Amino acid sequence: MYFVAEVNEKECAKYNCKQCVLFCPEPNCLNYKESDHTAWVWSDRCKGCEICVYVCSDLLKRHCIEMVMVKTGD
Protein backbone atom coordinates (compact mmCIF):
# COMPACT_ATOMS: atom_id res chain seq x y z
CA MET A 1 0.00 0.00 0.00
CA TYR A 2 1.13 3.54 -0.72
CA PHE A 3 -0.28 7.05 -1.10
CA VAL A 4 -0.84 9.03 -4.28
CA ALA A 5 -2.31 12.47 -4.91
CA GLU A 6 -5.93 12.81 -5.99
CA VAL A 7 -7.42 16.05 -7.32
CA ASN A 8 -10.96 17.11 -6.53
CA GLU A 9 -11.62 18.34 -10.06
CA LYS A 10 -14.81 20.23 -9.19
CA GLU A 11 -12.99 22.32 -6.58
CA CYS A 12 -9.85 22.69 -8.69
CA ALA A 13 -11.79 24.06 -11.68
CA LYS A 14 -12.95 27.02 -9.57
CA TYR A 15 -9.41 28.42 -9.32
CA ASN A 16 -7.65 27.71 -12.65
CA CYS A 17 -4.25 28.39 -11.01
CA LYS A 18 -1.98 25.51 -12.18
CA GLN A 19 0.38 26.04 -9.23
CA CYS A 20 0.45 22.37 -8.20
CA VAL A 21 1.56 21.41 -11.72
CA LEU A 22 4.43 23.90 -11.56
CA PHE A 23 5.75 22.56 -8.24
CA CYS A 24 5.41 18.82 -8.85
CA PRO A 25 8.97 17.38 -9.08
CA GLU A 26 7.95 14.29 -11.08
CA PRO A 27 7.69 14.95 -14.85
CA ASN A 28 4.26 14.29 -16.36
CA CYS A 29 2.77 13.25 -13.03
CA LEU A 30 0.55 16.22 -12.28
CA ASN A 31 -0.95 17.64 -15.45
CA TYR A 32 -3.45 20.32 -16.42
CA LYS A 33 -6.50 19.92 -18.65
CA GLU A 34 -7.19 23.23 -20.40
CA SER A 35 -10.63 22.06 -21.54
CA ASP A 36 -11.80 21.44 -17.95
CA HIS A 37 -9.56 24.01 -16.21
CA THR A 38 -8.42 21.39 -13.73
CA ALA A 39 -5.33 19.45 -12.69
CA TRP A 40 -5.20 15.66 -12.88
CA VAL A 41 -2.77 13.06 -11.55
CA TRP A 42 -1.22 10.20 -13.47
CA SER A 43 -1.23 7.96 -10.40
CA ASP A 44 1.32 5.48 -11.81
CA ARG A 45 3.91 8.27 -11.81
CA CYS A 46 3.00 9.84 -8.44
CA LYS A 47 5.70 9.25 -5.80
CA GLY A 48 3.56 10.44 -2.89
CA CYS A 49 5.82 13.38 -1.99
CA GLU A 50 2.79 15.58 -1.07
CA ILE A 51 4.34 18.79 -2.45
CA CYS A 52 1.15 19.41 -4.46
CA VAL A 53 -0.94 19.05 -1.30
CA TYR A 54 1.33 21.50 0.53
CA VAL A 55 1.12 24.06 -2.29
CA CYS A 56 -2.65 23.74 -2.76
CA SER A 57 -3.74 23.40 0.87
CA ASP A 58 -1.12 25.08 3.03
CA LEU A 59 0.14 27.87 0.78
CA LEU A 60 -2.94 28.67 -1.32
CA LYS A 61 -5.64 27.52 1.17
CA ARG A 62 -7.65 25.84 -1.62
CA HIS A 63 -7.76 22.20 -0.45
CA CYS A 64 -8.29 20.66 -3.90
CA ILE A 65 -5.75 17.83 -3.55
CA GLU A 66 -5.51 15.03 -1.01
CA MET A 67 -3.47 11.89 -0.63
CA VAL A 68 -5.33 8.60 -1.05
CA MET A 69 -4.24 5.05 -0.25
CA VAL A 70 -3.62 2.69 -3.15
CA LYS A 71 -3.45 -1.05 -2.55
CA THR A 72 -0.99 -3.04 -4.61
CA GLY A 73 -2.04 -6.32 -6.18
CA ASP A 74 -0.73 -9.41 -4.38
Contact of 56 with 27, CB cutoff 8 Å: no
Q: Domain range for residue 51?
A: 2-70
Residue 73 has pLDDT above 80, yes or no: no
CATH no. for residue 44? 3.30.70.20
* pLDDT tens by residue, 11-34: 999 998 999 999 999 999 999 999
In order of 23, 24, 31, 46, the CA distances from 34 in angstroms are 18, 18, 10, 21
pLDDT of residue 46: 96
Q: What's the N-to-C CA distance of the chain in angstroms?
A: 10
User: If we measure between CA atoms, which residue out of 19, 22, 33 comes closest to residue 61?
Assistant: 19
Q: pLDDT class for 51, splitting at 50, 70, 90?
A: very high
Residue 42 has pLDDT above 90, yes or no: yes
Amino acid identity, position 2: Y
Number of structural domains (the chain) is 1
